[in-house]
Amino acid sequence: MARYFLLTTFLVFSVLGYCQNNAVSSNEKLTFTAAYNMSGLMTDLAEVTMETNTVKTSNATLLKLKCTATTYSKWDNFFKIRDLYESYVNMNSLTPYLHKRDINEGGYYKFMQYKFKHKSNTVESTKRKKAKTGGFYEENKTLSIGTSTIDIVTTIYKIRNLDLSKATPNKIYNFTVLFDNKELKISVIYKGTETINTKIGSKSCHKLAVTISNSNVLSGSNNNLIWLTADANKIPVYAKFKIPVGNGELKIKSASGLKN
């Protein structure tokens, strides 16, 4: 259940954009409450954070995008989750160079790393998992990808640089995300604007629906929705989704270090 739930959290936030980074600062922190429908009740299970900061290398200064998911302590004995997603991207274009995913959920462990080679349209992939016989095994591959394929964390931030100010209802944004060594084809449909109440105030928002054409992670065509503030920051403040084993939601708790 939780693997579907947290994966969906990131997929629902994933949209491809080609514009410059005008929405995300280098010291932003967004905190969310993640809930899941348990026996008919929407129950808060975990905290999700999205943070940015700069990292200097020998050649450039990169923007580090970090997402974590942690179950609240009272749920740890039931299903302990400690997930970490990181991407290192160009400060302006958000082009990804390195992506890491380290998940530990109820005893299930997986580590994935992607090194993007944009000149050759390839990715050096490393996967590490627990072996059935004990210990760990590692698998290394070189994957061919499309020219616009990026990782899941980078797309979370790309969405906020889309120009939605002139979008009309049912406008579709199509894009590709590399996840578990597979390119997922995702469509995002603009549904208009709505004003919703959140922990950070009443917000006018862009409403988007998310579908995946080559995966069963999300269920239905209008069951997976995300609301972004209709301002220069385009903060994701609320999302709800349906997956094969149930449904859940994500609600913002706090936002700091905003660019605009």
DSSP string, 56-76: E-SS-EEEEEEEEEEE-GGGH
How confident is the model over 216-221, as a mean pLDDT?
56
92: how many CB neighbours lie within 10 A of its CB?
11
For the chain, percent of residues with pLDDT exceeding 70: 88
Residues facing 172 on adjacent strands? 189
CATH number at 77 reads: 2.40.360
Q: Which residue has the higher pLDDT, 142 or 20?
A: 142
**Does residue 118 lie in a domain region?**
yes
**Does residue 260 lie in a domain region?**
no
Question: What does each C-alpha distance from 165 to 21, 168, 169, 196, 234 come to in angstroms?
Answer: 16, 9, 12, 18, 11
- Whole-angstrom distance, CA of residue 109 vs CA of residue 93: 32
Confidence of residue 19 (pLDDT cuts 50, 70, 90): low
Give the structural domain span for 17: 2-254
Half-sphere exposure of 250 (CA within 13 A, CB side): 30
Residue 47 has pLDDT above 70, yes or no: yes
**Does residue 244 lie in a domain region?**
yes
pLDDT tens digits along 92-145: 999 999 999 999 988 889 999 999 999 999 999 999 998 878 888 999 999 999
At 174 the pLDDT is 82
pLDDT tens digits along 223-249: 789 999 999 999 999 999 877 667 889
Chain-centroid distance, C-alpha 230? 19
Residue 11 has pLDDT above 60, yes or no: no
**Does residue 92 lie in a domain region?**
yes
**Does residue 100 lie in a domain region?**
yes
How confident is the model over 31-36, as a mean pLDDT?
95
**Does residue 42 lie in a domain region?**
yes
**Does residue 47 lie in a domain region?**
yes
Residue 215 has pLDDT above 70, yes or no: no
If one counts the domains in the chain, the total is: 1
